[in-house]
Amino acid sequence: MAINVGERMPQGEFTQMTDKGPAKLGTDELFKGKKVVLFGLPGAFTPTCSAKHVPGFLQNAGALAAKGVDTIACVSVNDAFVMGAWAKDQGTGTKVLMLADGSAEYTKKLGLDLDLTARGMGVRAKRFAIVVNDGIAKHVAVENSPADLTVSSAEAILKAV
């Protein structure tokens, strides 16, 4: 069952690449007292994710901040090393946190996991975006297909915040 509007975000941890190597980031640190857009996608370096999803949030980071968004975070079922390399490739800087959910533990807690084993990709995240206010899901948008980018795009989320 996927997370719904009005529900508290599950407790958990992500890993993020830092200058000193991989570091844990807990959900309390990420969400407490903040307005956060958490968007998830099937995989780093994949076509729609790299060409449209992440770039859309980079291009709209200022507009989202103007609407009170404190943090934009991207989560994918990849390891911190891959997410770190992808952050450099995408030029995310401090605009978008790139968070690894290497074993899909948090993605499964959200109920937004997607089995792409038949495509050789294993368990991944559905394409989604959640607006979180102080740990509570205020808007949940999940795409029907991993190739779709309509309800979870930065432009759609900008209208929802």
Which residues form the catalytic set? 49
Please report the DSSP string for 51-112 in residue order.
IIIHHHHHHTHHHHHHTT--EEEEEESS-HHHHHHHHHHHT-TTTSEEEE-TTSHHHHHHT-
Quote the tokens at residue 119. 């495509």
Q: Which of 147, 128, 123, 98 has its CA nearest to residue 2? A: 128
* Residues 6 or more apart in contact with residue 133 via CB below 8 angstroms: 35, 36
Which residues does residue 60 pair with via DSSP β-bridges, in sequence order? none
CA 51 to chain centre: 15
Q: Which of 4, 2, 11, 1 has its CA nearest to residue 135? A: 11
